Structure formats: C-alpha cells, structure tokens
Structure 1
C-alpha cells in the first residue's frame, strides 16, 4: 500500500503523520515559528482520500500537490520569461514613444518614469490630504469617548472633503446624502435607485455639466478625476444604505457609513448593515495594536509602491498602451504576451494600493472592509475575476441587483449591463462586458463535469478571460491583436499548454480564496456570500 501523508498544524507546533498499511504514525511537533506560519498561510493539507479535511483546509492527494507545484513553477517561469522579453523590446522602442508620456526620475540614476497614468497620478496627489486625515481620525477616536466616534468620523470626513475639493463639491456630495436619506425615511426605495443611478450617469458621462453648474471649482484635472470617482462611489453607497437599512438605523449611522474616510473617494464599497454592525460591536484596538497594524501596513505599502515604481521605470505599461501603434508591429508573440502580463500586473498593483490603503486604514480602527484584489495573473476563471478583484462591488451587485431580481440569467445580465454603464460604455468596454458575461454563463455549464475535463475545457476559456481584459486594459487594437496572435499556428499549441498550467494554478487559488473569504467573514462578523 502506498504511503500517504498529513501535515497537521496545532497549538504546539506542526505534526507530520504518515499512513501505510492502515497504520498511522505521528512525528514530533515542529516548533520553528517561520515554518509554522508559512505552512499555515499556504492552507494546503495532504490527506488520504478516505479522510475528510478539517474545515478551512485544501483537501488534495499527494499527486495533486505535485501537479500543482510543477504547474505553478512552469506558469511563473513563462510569465517571467514573457515579461523579460517585452522589457528587452520596449527598452529599444522607448525613444520612439511620446516624450510627454514620461518625466525625469526624482531619484538620480534611474531611467525616466512613465507618468501617463492619470489614475495613479491622482491617487498620489490624494495621499497628501488623505493620510493626515486618517491619522487625525485615529487620534481623535482614541482621545474622545466612544459615544462620539460616529460624529468624530463625520467631522473628519467633512473637513477632508472641504480641504480636498472645496465648498461647492462638498455640498454636492452632501446633497446626494441628504436626498437619499430623505427618500429612505419616506420609504421610496425604488426612487433611490433612479436618483442615484442618474447621479452616476451625470458623474460618468456629463461631469462637465456638474462642473459648469458649480462654476468650475476644480482647476486641476487630477482633482476633477477624483471628484468624478467620489460622486460615483457616493451614489453606490447611497443605494446600499437606502435599500438595505432598517427603520431602527439612525441618520447619524447612515452619514457615518456614507462619509467613512478610508473609502470615501476611491472605494471600495462595503455593505451598509455589515459596516454598522462592526461600528456597534467591534472594540477600538489599543494604541499598541493600532501602532503594530500601522507599521505592518506601511511596510506592505512601501513594498508594493516599490513594485509599481520598478514597472513605471522599466516596462512603461501605460505609455506603451497609449502609443501602442508604434510598438504594434515590433512585438513578437511572446513579447506581446509579456506586454499583456505587464498590463494586468500594473492594473493589479495599482488597485491593490488604492483598495489596500482603505482596508489597512480601516483595520487600524478595528474594522474590516471588503478584501483587497486578487492578482488576475493567477486567476483562470472569468467568474473568479469578478468575485475576487473588486470584492466590494461584487457584493454590492449581489445585494442591490442579483438577489432582489431573484438570481439567474436575467439578473446576471443586468449586473454586466451595470458594469458597462459604470465604466462609460465605450466600444471596448462593451466588448469586455459581453465576453465576460458569455464566459460566466459557459463556466456555469461545465461545473458538473469531472475536474480534469473541466481544466481542459477551461483552457480556451482562460484565453477568453485574458483577451477580454485586454480590450478593457489595452483598448481595441490590443484586444484584437491578442486573439490574432494567439491563434497563429506557431503559438496555438504552446498557448494551450501554458493555459493548462494556468488553469491548474487558478483552480488551486479558487479554493484557497473561498476559504479566505469564509475566514474573513467570521473575523469581521459579516455574512459570508459565495454566489
């Protein structure tokens, strides 16, 4: 009989079990803290098929663990090779890209920096007022009695809006809040949808009308972009508390949720009832706990900021996207796929910083926001991308659209219609949403098939998932070129093998993410949603 193994992590260390001929042997506990924490975070438990894994563990055979290790190694090597190939090509093409897309580096000795990403530039400007406001809010929360914490948060957020956007823009955001609270108190819940979706329409499609009506108070394009995003997120939050809040909730709690500082401007959105339950039941961490969490958050932020800076100084993702017509004919297939990986990695790191900052700032106060994005390079399922990248918006879809409409095909289609509406409905966005909707529908149909057959069928769906993202991240030319290069005879077989490895990795992390979300929900005291 073959020998099988189990790793068991308990309070006194890591125990290694072996099974053979019906005998089970337990080896001494491993005390090494780093090894213990590393294995605990990996969430992988190798068990005999006859035994059920404990809750929260990934149950797999020894063969499956070997397949995952080999697949993940080969997948990572291919991605790194493709990015390196793209780096070699774009280094020689940089001089042909527009000079207005770059600026000299603030650090002597580094190459020029890609400064063409308006979202990233606006985010860096926002930090100058957001970080001091977050620090002030935490100081006041610890200095004032708990009964005043709601009003303290409202006061700091109001001061932040005034300092960042000025009086007229602040009054406009408060107008959204006032109108939504009045409609909620009067019981006109359907009107809350109509009013706030109209505000999103104005903010996304006709922001110039809002600025003209208010007298153009924002001269800086960066702050204009931030205000447009803040208006859209405000309308989304207004729908959440307007549709789900009960009569017992106070107006102060609605205002605190609507104006909560860490996610006030750039998101993510969080469920109203979950947020208020945390405010009412969670204790404020001690100064020592908050300081420890702040140090961890700063280290994480510096790490990912360094990754972003390296990309902006070496592979120039947004500059290449804007002047793609210059590099288009020069990129070989492997270099083009490296460019695709760079676009996805850049997008992931940017929103990891934006949403991660909000999550870490809330964690310092002892609150839990929706989880930060998962890297799209390790996701092979279109449905998982929607579940895990913008987790807050996904849960909002469930709460405000999918569940009220009873679920099913029609509700799913309306969710993607809203995504298209939310992202300005350009042609590339329409293609992106349409492909993703088709992808989600097909993926549901193959769930009943055996696991290995699912992975085989998932390979072309993986191409569709990545290709659809290229329309959104790179535009029409990049999206069409992805599929044209993919189906060249020389690259088709290689792409199928690489996608197989990616699908093995994706299935592993899909299970891991489900476990993580369940654990996160238990810690935060929120409802766990897995639809």
Structure 2
C-alpha cells in the first residue's frame, strides 16, 4: 500500500503547472507542466503519457491517496536542462533552404490535384459549391459543413446568451466566492434553464430522451454511493447507451408505445440528438466517478483546517472533490447540458465545473480577444484552403486515378491537415463561448498536426481535454504507466467506439495501439541515459521519429481520411515503381528535416520556461 501511495504521489508531482500571467490564467491556457517537456532525444516517451493526468494510480474501489503531493519531487521534475540553441548553425541554415523549397512545392502539387485541368475533376465537380471571388469551394465535409452553414445562427444564440448570463450573474450571484456548502450555486439554475430551451430548439421532444438517460445515470450514482459496483454499472450503462443510440438511430417514441407517436412530429432544428450525445456520455461518467471518489474522500476531510480555500491551480480544481451538497440533480444537469460545451466540448470534469462556479476564474478581456483573433485567423485559413484545394471531395470520390505518387501522398497529407484545422475551429469556437461566459475548459489543440513526432505526444496534443478525460477515468484506474503496453488496447478500442461504431475506426484504434509498441521499445532500448552522450544521438532519434510519423499518418489516413482501400492504393504506388521509391526517399528526407526543427522548437520552449507535455 505504501508503494502505491508513492507511485500516486509521483504521478501528482508530474502534474504541477507553470504559473500563469498576471491575470492568474495559464499561459497560453494549454495545461503547461512544471516539469520538462518531452526530451527531443527520446524516441519513445511512453513514461510521460500520464503526466497530464488528473487522477492518481489507484484501483477502482480503493481509497484515493492525498490529492496534493507535497514535499515530493520526481526525478523528471528536477531535470530541466536545456541544450544550446541550434537556430543559427550551418546545419539549420541548410534546413531553412529545404523548407523554402519543399513547403511551397507541396502546396503546388496539392493544388494541381484540384484544378479543372486534372482528369479527375469531373468526378468531384458536383461536390463543389460557388465560393468567393469566382472560385469553387470544397464544402463536402459533412461535419464542417454543418458548422459553417449554421455559424450565423450560432452567433445569434451567443448574442442572446451572453448578455442574459452576465446580467443574471450581476444580479443574483454574490461578488465573493461561494465558500460554504450551504450556499447554492445560482448560475447552475440559469445554465440549466437556458440549456433546456436551447436543446428543445435543437432536438424538439427528443430532449425527453436525453433527460431520461441522464436521470438513470444520476440514479446509479446516488443509489450506489461508494459501493464497489458503481464504476462497473456506470461504464456498462453508458457504453450500452452508445450502442443503442447508434443501433436505433436515436429511437422513435412510437417504438416505446403507439400512443407516443405524436412526439415524433417535433424533432427540433437539428433532429439527430444522438449524434452529439457522445460528449454527454463523457460528462455522465465524469459525474458518477467524481461522486464515487468523493464518497471515499470528501473535500471536508481533504482540507480540514481550511475547507473553504480557493483551489490553488487547475489540477486542484479537478482532483479536489466538491462539497457533498454540490453533487445534486440541478448541478448535475447544469453540467451535463451546459449549452456552450454541449455540442462538441471541450470536455470538463464535474469537479472542475463546480469549482469554477464556487470560485470563479478571472478571465481578462485581452485573453478573450487573443482567442478570438486566433479563431478568426483559423477560419480565414480554412476558407483559403477550401478554395485553393479540394482534398475532401477527392478523398470522398477516390478521384486520384492517373495522379502521380506524390500527388496521392499530398491528398492524404492535406486531408489530415484539414481534419485538424476543422476540429481546431469547432472546438475553439465553443471554448471561446464558454470563456466569454466565465468558464475555462481545456484547450484541445495545443500543437499543429504537423508538429508531432511521437505517437504518445500526438495523442496528448490532439483533443487534449478528451485525453485528460481518458487518463483520469480509464488509463490510470487500469494501472497507468505500469501496465501501459496492455492498457493502450482497451483505451484506443474505447476511443474508436466512442467516435463511431465503424470497422474503419476500430482498425484505426488497433493500428494506433500496434504502432505505439515500437515507440515503447525504442524508448527503453535507446534511452537518453544509455545513448545520450553519443554525438549522433539526436540524428538517430530523428530517424526513429521519421518512421514514427509515417506509421501515425497511415493509421490516421485509415481512420479519418481515405480509408483502408485508399491507403492500400497509396502504399502500392509507393513500393511498386521506381518513381514511388524516389518519392518515398524524398518524403522521408523532408520529414527528417522537419523532425530536427520539431526537436529544436521544444528546446526553444524549454529555454523560455514553457514545458508542454507533448
């Protein structure tokens, strides 16, 4: 038991975050860690997967260890050494020249696949719409099309919501923090009232299905309390709901009884309530597990001498249980149905959400303007890309017959870039809405998709709030890094099923799990402790990172872009001809240069005191 305690404390020590700016907010709101960033000279970095977790490594049902790891420093926390800058070396001047040649050429090649002169243009022409300045725009991505076309409506909803929310807060919410458990949270009532109206507009009478599912989940938590069966029943129930939602396409009321068929006449403006319910499912699990753990260690026990203190940092907001009185039905529904984050996240834990209601964060106007500027820039970049190249339409129609091997590779690469960009826009839009409402959710995309060389680092920087949720509620309860090679299989299987119940996504999840294994082995065999003094160690790690990137690209192309058939076609062209081998050699060389720049970017961050976990 003592050994488990020490292990948990080490996990906690790795979660310490750097201080924020003068406003008290993290810089740049992206879960910056006090410990060093992944050392670019480590090919694997598996041991850091759980470094941004928010829950200790303890089995479900056992009492959680102390929340704050006081007086303990892990060896990796103390290792904050940096390397001399390489930006102005002859080696990197060569890399700059390669960048100046390769990057514009990549855009040129990608654009050539989308022009009217391309023989495959007729296959995609019907998917294109009239755009700006006489250009055609590729608006064929269903997810982004729904967001883009409804952006004016969402803007109107926000324009209505924010003044009402701030007026309610000014009139009914005390200026001082609500430190006593006897003090109710007035904003929870406003959140719930608006969310019910909002969801009724979106889904019509289907809101009754949402309320029924959430009510049953709440009953599981309250009836079970601290009983050991609560985690099992919670997980079985919520995963079953995911499958049933998909199987019955959100259900019809008439399926339950013919007399209820009239309720099917009003499905709201959106109709497909079950499409967005996956995010709600994460919140339901969060509430049940946070409540379950709170019954074993209450906040009153945790801070006997100072129970009304404000949280020290974001980690404290997640880990410290709320007051027992806060785990009530109103707060639960306000959290599960919170309008700004309902459709797409980012994901917050229940503890964090309630903590921000009791002890509100100060979010300066300059911070909101910064994130608004970033969002506008991303939107403009997306519009330019959708007009300049039609990658989504090409992948939908598999319109690459007769294209060169390099052109096919660029279709795959820019498909990944567009997926990253669309998700960044959607997540930042809703996060900005919540920020303007005084609620800070984690930033999901903390690195560009093309600035990743580690599969584990990529997982931490892509959909970060989901990653934190996975770590807290799945990965660490299953054993954390001590059983990492085994844990990645159920973790990524759940991730695939959660996204959608499709064979290609299961293939993606299992490929990710399989492709992580070489990184695990490399991180142990070629560790910095053993090889770090070798003068060419950085270059050896770069070679390993190149193949890591290729494996990650293959897995993501299978799951989210061109599918298994498209990847087979691309790999066949790469390996079956002299042109393919030449293309692959050039691509691997270019990626090698990119990896060297990625390494130096992370060293540059460390020199500036920024220690990201990816």
What's the TM-score once normalised by structure 2's chain length?
A: 0.68
**Alpha carbons of structure 1 residues 395 and 242: separation in structure 2 relative to 1, 3 Å:** same
- Alignment match, 2:9: none
Superimposed CA distance per residue, residues 158-197 of structure 1 (whole angstroms, 9 cap, x where no aligned partner):
111111221x221222222211111111123321211111
**Alpha carbons of structure 1 residues 175 and 507: separation in structure 2 relative to 1, 3 Å:** farther
- Alignment match, 1:250: 327
Any conservation in 1 of the 2:496–2:506 contact (CA below 8 Å)?
yes
**In 1, distance between residues paired with 2:96 and 2:417?**
17
**Alpha carbons of structure 1 residues 72 and 202: separation in structure 2 relative to 1, 3 Å:** farther
Q: What is the root-mean-square deviation in Å for CA atoms of aligned residues?
A: 3.5
Cα drift, residue 116 of structure 1: 1.6
Give the SS at the match of 1:353.
helix
Superposed, which structure 2 residues align to 1:73-88 within 5 Å?
Answer: 74-75=98-99, 77-88=101-112
The structure whose residues are more often helix, as a share, is 1
- Alignment match, 1:195: 237
Cα drift, residue 68 of structure 1: 5.9
**In 1, distance between residues paired with 2:342 and 2:503?**
29
Q: Indicate the larger mover: 251-260 or 313-322.
A: 251-260
Superimposed CA distance per residue, residues 469-516 of structure 1 (whole angstroms, 9 cap, x where no aligned partner):
111212123222333344432223222212212322344456788999
**In 2, distance between residues paired with 1:212 and 1:385?**
45
Cα drift, residue 394 of structure 1: 1.0
Q: Is 1:182 paired with 2:260?
A: no
Q: Is 1:353 paired with 2:445?
A: no
Q: Flag the structure with more relative contact order, 1 or 2, with Cα contacts below 8 A and sequence separation at least 6.
A: 2
Any conservation in 2 of the 1:359–1:369 contact (CA below 8 Å)?
yes
Cα drift, residue 138 of structure 1: 2.7
Extract unaligned runs of 5+ from structure 1.
Answer: 1-10, 12-36, 46-53, 521-529
Q: Is 1:469 paired with 2:541?
A: no
**In 1, distance between residues paired with 2:507 and 2:247?**
19
Q: 1:336 aligns with which of 383, 405, 408?
A: 408
- Alignment match, 2:68: none
- Alignment match, 1:492: 584
Give the SS at the match of 2:443.
coil
Superimposed CA distance per residue, residues 449-479 of structure 1 (whole angstroms, 9 cap, x where no aligned partner):
2442222222222111111111121212322
**Alpha carbons of structure 1 residues 510 and 434: separation in structure 2 relative to 1, 3 Å:** farther
- Alignment match, 2:389: 315
Count of residue correspondences: 465
Q: Indicate the larger mover: 462-471 or 271-280.
A: 271-280
The structure whose residues are more often strand, as a share, is 1
Q: 2:504 aligns with which of 422, 428, 431?
A: 428
Any conservation in 1 of the 2:217–2:284 contact (CA below 8 Å)?
yes
Give the SS at the match of 1:97.
helix
- Alignment match, 2:546: 459
Superposed, which structure 2 residues align to 1:18-167 within 5 Å?
Answer: 59-63=82-86, 66=89, 71=95, 74-75=98-99, 77-91=101-115, 92-93=117-118, 95-105=121-131, 107=132, 109-144=133-168, 145-146=172-173, 147-166=185-204
Superposed, which structure 2 residues align to 1:165-176 within 5 Å?
Answer: 165-166=203-204, 168-176=205-213
**In 2, distance between residues paired with 1:202 and 1:58?**
51
What's the TM-score once normalised by structure 1's chain length?
A: 0.78
**In 1, distance between residues paired with 2:152 and 2:218?**
31
- Alignment match, 2:441: 369
Superimposed CA distance per residue, residues 132-165 of structure 1 (whole angstroms, 9 cap, x where no aligned partner):
3333333233222225212111112111111122
